[in-house]
Amino acid sequence: MNALILMLIGLAMIVAGYLFYSKYLASRVFQLDDGFVTPAHELRDGVDYVPTNKFVLWGHHFTSVAGAAPIVGPAIAVIWGWLPAFLWVTLGTVFFAGMHDMGSLWASQRNKGRSMGALSARYIGGRGAKLFLVVIFLLLLMVIAAFAVVIKNLLIGTPSAVIPAWGAVLVALVVGQAVYRWKINLGVVTVVGVVALYALILLGDRFPVELPDPILGMSPGTFWIVALFLYAGIASILPVWVLLQPRDYINGVQLFVGLGILYVSVLLSAPTLVAPAFNDNLPADTPSIVPLLFVTIACGAISGFHGMVSSGTSSKQLDKETDARFVGYFGAVGEGLLALGAILAATAGFRTVAQWEEIYSAFGEGGVGAFVDGGGNLVSAGLGLPASLSATVLATMAVLFAATTMDTGVRLLRFVVQEGGQVAGVRIGKLAGTVIVIVVAVGLTFSQGVDGSGGLLIWPLFGTTNQLLASLTLAIIAVMLIRKRRNPLLALIPLVLVFVMAFYAAIKQLGTFSESGEWMLLVLDVVIIIAAVWVAVEAVLAMRRASKEPPEAPDADLVDAGLGKR
């Protein structure tokens, strides 16, 4: 099959979802209201609560939720064939991720910008909230530690990405000052910022940076990991408008340009999908497609991490409630387009089936490497760019996605630590919370040695934990809708499917961890399963109570739940 046909079908499905389904959700289900005073205005502090242009906020939200996962997941999942991955990405984006992301953003900003962990206390109950925080803490810790290792590997494997990856920080600092201090037109700043980023890509391709071994007494890999954690810690303390917002916005625009380059390359070269629609020649170690497809592709279809970003940072910056449709749903659309691009790169970016099968010789192979190599081949064939420059463009995309997710993740985990302190009756400040996060994450990353392999130690739990968290977030949204006497089915249907698949996968992992003697993963998996079941039961009881209670007053969202402002 020609990859161009698949691309056009996928684009049509995802765009139609935004034009029609998101409009229905915004007007009929969530009933977004411009008259509602958002937390960004009500609690404005210039640090976390900052009213933000919806395009800038979309850039932050999109790049924070995307990370490397919508590249890695689909580029691994095509081992079962391109059709299952394609259907889960497109249908998941339209009916699952869009509802989840816009819904969690709406739910949080209707509750003073509080996180899903805090909202669970109000809508599900105190016992469930404590367990919810455990799941969130583990998920964010996995993301921070693993992405530090992923970025380190990309910087070492593609040294031409070093200059644009770190130069993007300087560009973001200037963009933030230009927009907020110098009041320069956003369009002008955007054009100049994107041009600067692509100039850095050209510079990086011309002057790749390979660190000496050792450097400051460390190996290059160790040095990059330490530098990344120092950067993420500093970024998580700074006001969002100084670095987080402008970095994510300009990266989001640049990355959309990069996606455009990939899609135009497919349009011009019209390559053939060398991978089969359904792969009957699976390697011996490949697990069953059900339920693994639904947890291997999380980001790009539906992801619990998105709810953490929506309720952790994005809800505190929403200028108008109606912006939730563009920021939340279109943020999910952006990630779906990235996942679709990863599928195209990993299935049409190779010349022969034999070459593709060599890459996918075992389950877990492919990933970012297949995206960079396959996508580089597509761009080179479609636009005639040198293969090395094409690879630099795509590697830089992957690094910037992962880096923005990592620094947002540190900020979100700091919020979780502070919320945990509130539960324990201990006040934890921003600096203390950040130090706790960095110490724990660095400890995990280097727990297996200076190569940072510990960062991937608990990563096998990410897929199931992430999807269980997504279903629990949908449960909070459903309770809110029931209390307001609005139709909860559009949240309940994806909730049930995602929870069943994630729970099934978590149970299967128990056997895998037991057989391989991975006792720590086994114990953590048991903890996650117990927490998920407990919260799910509490959620069902909360839904039953909500259905029997009188309808919630129209202004109930304005009532403080008594959880306190950070």
pLDDT band at 5 (very low <50, low <70, confident <90, very high): very high
pLDDT more than 70, % of the chain: 97
Give the tens place of pLDDT for each residue, 337-379. 999 999 999 999 888 888 888 888 887 777 777 887 788 788 8
Lowest mean pLDDT among 20-29, 201-210, 524-533: 524-533
Task: Show the 3-state SS of 72-127.
Answer: HHHHHHHHHCHHHHHHHHHHHHHHHHHHHHHHHHHHHHCCCCCCHHHHHHHHCCHH
Average pLDDT over residues 292-306: 91
Alpha helices in 349-452 (DSSP H): 353-359, 367-383, 387-424, 430-445
Residue pair 424/397 in contact (Cβ under 8 Å)? The answer is no
Q: Model confidence over 88-99: pLDDT tens digits?
A: 999 999 999 999
Nearest to 300 by CA among 144, 73, 495: 73
- pLDDT of amino acid 560: 44
One DSSP character per residue, 488-551 reads: -HHHHHHHHHHHHHHHHHHHHHHHHHHHHT-HHHHHHHHHHHHHHHHHHHHHHHHHHHHHHSPP
- The per-residue pLDDT for range 427-451, each reduced to its tens digit, is 998 899 999 999 999 999 999 888 8
Positive or negative, the Cα torsion across 422, 428, 434, 435?
negative
HEC secondary structure over 142-208: HHHHHHHHHHHHHHHHCHHHHHHHHHHHHHHHHHHHHHHCCCCCHHHHHHHHHHHHHHHHHHHHHCC
CB-based burial label for 12 (10 Å; 0-12, 13-18, 19+) = exposed
Backbone angles phi, psi at 228, to 5 degrees: -65, -40
Closest CA to 317 of 306, 328, 333, 330: 328
> In this predicted structure, what is the pLDDT of residue 62?
87
User: For the chain, which domains are there?
Assistant: 3-105+112-558 (1.20.1740.10)
Of 107-111, 150-154, 327-331, 374-378, which gets the smallest average pLDDT? 374-378
Question: Per-residue pLDDT for 559 more than 50?
Answer: no
Above 60 in pLDDT, residue 565?
no
User: What is the average pLDDT score of the chain?
Assistant: 88
pLDDT value at 126 more than 80: no
Residue 318, SS3 per DSSP:
strand
What's the mean pLDDT in 207-218?
A: 92
pLDDT in tens, 473-482: 999 999 999 9
Task: Give the pLDDT band (50/70/90) at residue 555.
Answer: low
Please state, for a pLDDT cut of 90, what percent of the chain lies above it: 53
Query: Which pLDDT value is given to residue 351?
Result: 82
Q: Which tokens go with 120?
A: 């669970």
54 pLDDT higher than 70? yes
* Torsions phi, psi for 277 (to 5 deg): -65, -45
How many helices (H) does the chain have, and how many strands (E)? 24, 0
DSSP-derived 3-state class of residue 385: coil
* SS3 of residue 2 by DSSP: strand
Q: Specify the pLDDT at position 83.
A: 96
Task: Indicate yes or no: pTM above 0.75.
Answer: yes
pLDDT at 561 over 90: no
For residue 403, the model assigns a pLDDT of 83
pLDDT > 80? residue 310:
yes
Three-class SS string for 22-33? Answer: HHHHHHHHCCCC
Determine the average pLDDT of the residues in 325-347.
93
- Between the alpha carbon of residue 282 and those of residues 286, 334, 538, the distances in Å are 6, 31, 40
Half-sphere exposure in the Cβ direction for 148 (13 Å, CA): 37
